[in-house]
Chain A
């Protein structure tokens, strides 16, 4: 499976490319910037900070911005992984990052599946469960970034 990923033509191309690899790397940074930047603001607003942000700005601007960032980060991250799939799969920091991403995504899925943001959008009220989810998100995503930075150093 991992060998098959490494054997993909796109992985082979990125492995040897001078331009494409750093560009995909940059895309990963942009994706994370949008994702974490937007989601930290959204989480803080849900936790009662940044009251200058109307609830609609959270649901109509920050959430879609974070979603776009997530899509870019996942796609570029997959490409970077494919270059040395076997090495990354054995890297403790990478595995920790994956576990944290899984936790953060499960949290995200719960928020959207339960529609917990709807009452917030209309009335600004935040249920205790949504508050907890905001804390999980506010903790997990920055830890994802930190775990990610350690990948190259283990």
Chain B
């Protein structure tokens, strides 16, 4: 009897922990972003091409925006590797911005820099292909 009560309580606790953690599950997917296509252009401040995922910080009208890319291997597969983008280059990012409108952060599916296009999430670029 005692054990079944404990098991039930443990399940309940696990469920509650799951609820608390639920918003977090969004991040590695796309739930933390809006569904509205979003395009942003700015000057590159820093480029990071590493784990857990790449990112480019760009300056737009004096504000620093974080443009999140794919994990290293997928980002490299798109052709976006060391040297293709440097500090000071103009970059255009296509993707989806954070649900939190106060946050200057977006997840890019495609970036353009120095005349080249890099589809870091090639299966998610349809909205920008027209």
Contact = CB atoms under 8 A, between A and B. Distances in A.
A109 to B, nearest CB: 26
Contact size class for A?
Answer: 10 to 19
Interface residues of B, number: 17
Interface in A64-109: 83-84
Nearest to A12: B50
Given A149-B24, A152-B27, A17 B17 contact: no
B20 A15 contact: no
B17 A153 contact: no
B70 to A, nearest CB: 13
B57 to A, nearest CB: 11
Given A50-B6, A142-B17, A153 B72 contact: no
A83 B72 CA distance: 13
Given A49-B6, A152-B27, A146 B52 contact: no
A84 B55 CA distance: 12
Contact of A153 (B24, B51, B73): B24
Interface in B18-52: 20-21, 23-24, 26-28, 32, 49-52
Interface of B: 2, 6, 17, 20-21, 23-24, 26-28, 32, 49-52, 72-73
Interface of A: 14-18, 21, 44, 49-50, 83-84, 142, 146, 149-150, 152-153
